[in-house]
Amino acid sequence: MFFSRQLVLIFALSLPVAGAIAQSTNEITPTYRVHMLAKPAVVRIVAGYKGVVQFKDGSKLPLVQAGTGSGFFISPDGYIMTNAHVVEDIKAGEAEAKKALTVQFVRIILKKNNLAFTEENIKKVANWADQNGADLQVTERLNRVLFQDGSKLPYEIKSYGAPMGSKGDTLTGKDVAIIKVEMKNAPTLRLGDSSKMKVGDRVYVMGYPGAADSDMLDAKSSVEPTTNDGAISAIKTTVDGIPVLQTSTSATHGNSGGPVLNQSGEVIGMLTFRGDTVNGQEVQGFNFIVPSNTAREYLAPAGTTNAEGLVDRAWTVGLDDFWSGRYTPAKQHFEEVVALVPSHNEARKLITEAQEHILRGDERKAESSSGYLMGGSAAVAVLLLGGGIFAARKHKRPAPAQAAARGMAAPEPARPVPQAAAPAASADATVLSPTRAVDLVFVGGPLSGQQVRIPPSGAWIGRDANLATIVVAHHMVSKQHVWVGQRNGRWVLRDEASTNGTFVNDPNSRRITEHYAQAGETYLLAPEAVASFRLTI
């Protein structure tokens, strides 16, 4: 029996290791690479006011006058670069806002009465408003930065250039503003050297074009940035002598203030204005960029610099590892990102994807020159010399499930399970038969379809990769949610103190503390069943 086992091992060690030569089959396009590198730093900006017209009979007419643009973080302490014209309404103040709301009020009344926007009709609306005691008040300033997780923060304007068209009909090339939100560890973009750009250079425009908004899309889509690619098509100068770059990239209202990036992911400018309309129609492919070297002038007046933050390196290195098939280090880097920026949606998604790759055995291993782990006489020698090692390890506690499934050593579970008395089983229970190991199969949640071998020593399921062997990346799953393993020769689940509980078959059932595993049962994490699994032999 001993020699037959050794021969099997020799044969196994002489075979090529599939994981050692596995390559990622997913091609990473330049557009996708730039999009993923830059996306976390891009934000949507709202500027405007709310108001209300109060009538003497007690009725009210609410008003909103606001627009949106794009921007991006330039420093980890919350400084954002955008166009001056994006935040022009906030800069102008409430007096100007009241004028804009008054115009909106007049247009609403004219439309309701099917009247044209003429001087005579405007006077009629004014007389009607006076007779009805109309009183317009500004109620709220809409200075908001919208983030990709749906959250928002108010901003202050720290430095301000000249909005396009602010000098009569002049389209200025200094349409720049720096705003600030109260935030730390913001993901940032690096400003490149716009003077190096040439006609034909590839560029990528990111932001929130209004044309991409639709009633057919959900609320999350309104904060999902769009990336369009194109090229520098001309280098020009405005009538007031300021250099601008022209691009063939498609862009429209809402893209204003968004970053324009080169193939290295550096910002070489911001979208600012488009070419003239033709026959009243907007023509794509003729958009203009404030160069990054011009935009730099507004950093010092704002009291900031363009700086990389702690989260930026972790994000960049994590992406490189992920795209190279190194999922374990990638997952660790993404977890660092989430620890610094809990709202970082992309890092959370990739933690889950990396974990799925790890459980499927997709991890890219180090390659040897021959593509073999070892072979021939070398394998025999190791086995002969290592006989004592195999015997010595025979009585050691098995490694946790995630590593065991890949045949690798791994640390013990972070938190030992107290050796409490075994739970009582009901008289008619079909207890899962004891065996050396069981398979845990996910049937619902982010790991649905994944299968993991659980050794008798057990494994923790939880949200925190430092505390759990099997990681389920969901906010309703506790850091160490439930332990699965053998006790007194029986398979048992133990949930000591998870926030949302573990349930058997029915989320409305009583949450378990200790439970004997029974054939055919499904185990649910949290009442919402954010993840579910079964145990099979």
pLDDT in tens, 332-370: 999 999 999 988 989 999 999 999 999 988 987 644 333
Question: In this structure, are residues 521 and 440 in contact, taking their beta carbons and an 8 Å threshold?
Answer: no
| SS3 category, 406 | coil
Q: Taking residues 101-125, what's their average pLDDT?
A: 92
Please determine, for residue 86, whether its predicted confidence score (pLDDT) is greater than 80. yes
Please determine, for residue 245, whether its predicted confidence score (pLDDT) is greater than 70. yes
Residue 220: per-residue pLDDT: 63
Residue 476: per-residue pLDDT: 83
Residue 296: per-residue pLDDT: 94
By C-alpha distance, which of 384, 482, 390, 487 is closest to 431? 487
Residue 197: per-residue pLDDT: 93
Residue 466: per-residue pLDDT: 80
Residue 165: per-residue pLDDT: 61
Q: Taking residues 404-421, what's their average pLDDT?
A: 39
Please determine, for residue 412, whether its predicted confidence score (pLDDT) is greater than 50. no
Please report which confidence band the pLDDT of residue 25 belongs to, taking 50, 70 and 90 as the band edges: very low
Q: Going by DSSP bridges, is the β-strand pair 144-146/60-73 parallel, antiparallel, or unpaired?
A: unpaired
Residue 318: per-residue pLDDT: 93
Question: In this structure, are residues 296 and 311 in contact, taking their beta carbons and an 8 Å threshold?
Answer: no
Q: Taking residues 490-509, what's their average pLDDT?
A: 90
Please determine, for residue 167, whether its predicted confidence score (pLDDT) is greater than 90. no
By C-alpha distance, which of 190, 203, 149, 183 is closest to 316? 190
As a whole number of angstroms, the distance between CA 128 and CA 104 comes to 16
As a whole number of angstroms, the distance between CA 431 and CA 440 comes to 16
Q: Which amino acid is at 369?
A: S
- Better-scored residue on pLDDT, 477 or 240: 477
As a whole number of angstroms, the distance between CA 269 and CA 289 comes to 6
Residue 375: per-residue pLDDT: 36
Beta strands (DSSP E) in 208-347 are 226-237, 243-247, 259-261, 267-274, 287-291
Q: How far is CA 324 from the centre of its chain?
A: 20
- Better-scored residue on pLDDT, 173 or 383: 173
- The mean predicted confidence, pLDDT, of the chain is 79
Q: Taking residues 412-426, what's their average pLDDT?
A: 44
Q: Taking residues 137-147, what's their average pLDDT?
A: 94
Please report which confidence band the pLDDT of residue 172 belongs to, taking 50, 70 and 90 as the band edges: low
Residue 97: per-residue pLDDT: 93
Residue 28: per-residue pLDDT: 83
| Burial grade of 459 (CB within 10 A; 0-12, 13-18, 19 or more) | buried
